[in-house]
Amino acid sequence: AKNLGRNRFNYFTPSMQVYAKYRMRLIQDLRQALQNQELELHYQPIVELKSGRVTKAEALVRWCHPVRGMVSPSEFIPIAEDTGLILDIGNWVFEQAAKQSAYWRDTLGTEVQISINESQVQFRDDKHGCRDAIALLHELNLKGAELCIEVTEGLLQDADIGVRAQLKAYRDAGIQLSLDNFGTGYSSLAYLQQCHIDYLKIDKCLTNNLTASDDEMKLCEAIILMAHKLDIKVTAEGVETEAQRQRLVAIGCDYAQGYLFSRVVTATVFAQSYLQPQAL
Ligand code: C2E
Ligand code: CA
Ligand code: CA
């Protein structure tokens, strides 16, 4: 290792050490990111397929690192989960989304339901901000249904009493629940009803194959039928083509999001594109 120049070591050796160093740096930076206001919440419209209207959006966090530029959430969310930083980030995301929804209501007279992603780690922590969250709703005069929490199958599979109590607290506050990335995990169906899920999101790997394979289409159709029987609405994720949209309409899917409709955009662009002040 002595022969290796510093640069060579840093840039050309894909060793664990390099990664560990990179990761440590990222952790340090992430600690600062909230204080330095480097995090932003961006939005992707969710389209009601029947009408083509946009009344919902998914909030997705963005990190604008001063040196590295945009760091993808798939890179920093896992790190935030490992270090517990996800708790502060999660509370910030919730607060930001709630305020955004109230702001759009107050300035444009439009109700937009904002979906927020919450990590398992948040639910499994005693300090989960459920209580603060509900206090914030009252403060902003929100009914609750302006927000929807997206959770993953992992959370519901081994939801202990603590997790269930938190889900119930959200529901009691009027907040809706959505099951993200459906079709990627075990997809045991029992918990769908036990946990009172309102929406189920068909993962983009299923959506992708919707027009390529008949089996995949039948699978999606079956998922939608089952969900509707359980009074659950279905959103398809990662819709990229018109052919996929048409298939989804044909098999009765309720909502869709994806690059066909829009990329993830800033709050300002979202409002300009989809929210018109309501005529009195
Ligand atoms: P996700 O919740 O499944 O979010 C959907 C991801 O798909 C987003 O990636 C979005 O930009 C991307 N996407 C949307 N439409 C399309 C499409 O048509 N095609 C393709 N290929 N991709 C599409 P993003 O923003 O990079 O987020 C990645 C993941 O990071 C999210 O996956 C979510 O698990 C996590 N994440 C993002 N924001 C938050 C947050 O505030 N809190 C937590 N806990 N996790 C978050
Ligand atoms: Ca999501
Ligand atoms: Ca998803």
Q: What confidence tens digit (pLDDT) does each residue in 233-243 have?
A: 999 999 999 99
First to last CA, the chain: 73
Cα 61 to ligand 3 centre (Å): 13
Of the listed ranges 69-83, 200-214, 266-280, the one predicted with least confidence: 266-280
Task: Please tell me the predicted confidence (pLDDT) of residue 2.
Answer: 44
Candidate from 56, 100, 117 with most ligand 1 atoms within 8 A of CB, to mutate: 117
| Cβ-based burial of 14 (10 A; exposed 0-12, middle 13-18, buried ≥19) | exposed
In this structure, is the dihedral angle defined by the CA atoms of residues 160, 236, 91 and 74, taken in order, positive or negative?
positive
In this structure, is the dihedral angle defined by the CA atoms of residues 34, 171, 123 and 264, taken in order, positive or negative?
negative
Q: Which atom of ligand 1 is nearest to the CA of 77?
A: 45
Residue nearest to atom 8 of ligand 1 (CA): 60
Q: How far apart are CA 4 and CA 199, in angstroms?
A: 54
Q: How far apart are CA 273 and CA 280, in angstroms?
A: 20
- Whether the CB-CB separation of 191 and 163 falls below 8 Å is answered with no
Look at residue 280 and tell me whether its pLDDT is greater than 70: no
Say if ligand 1 is within 6 A of residue 185 CB: no
| E-strand stretches of the chain | 39-48, 54-65, 69-71, 113-117, 147-151, 176-182, 199-202, 233-236, 255-256
DSSP state of 72: P
Look at residue 3 and tell me whether its pLDDT is greater than 80: no
Distances in Å between the Cα of 65 and the Cα atoms of 103, 260, 263 are 27, 28, 21
149-163 confidence digits (pLDDT tens): 999 998 988 888 889
Q: Which of 136, 81, 92 is nearest to 116 (CA)?
A: 92
Residue 118 vs residue 192, higher pLDDT? 118
Which ligand is closest in space to the CA of residue 178?
Answer: 2
The residue type found at 42 is H
**Which residues touch 185 (CB under 8 Å, ≥6 apart)?**
152, 153, 154, 157
Mean pLDDT, rounded, of the chain: 90
Say if ligand 1 is within 6 A of residue 73 CB: yes
84-117 confidence digits (pLDDT tens): 999 999 999 999 999 999 999 999 999 999 999 9
Structure tokens at 263: 């990329």
Task: Please tell me the predicted confidence (pLDDT) of residue 276.
Answer: 78
**Which residues touch 105 (CB under 8 Å, ≥6 apart)?**
111, 146
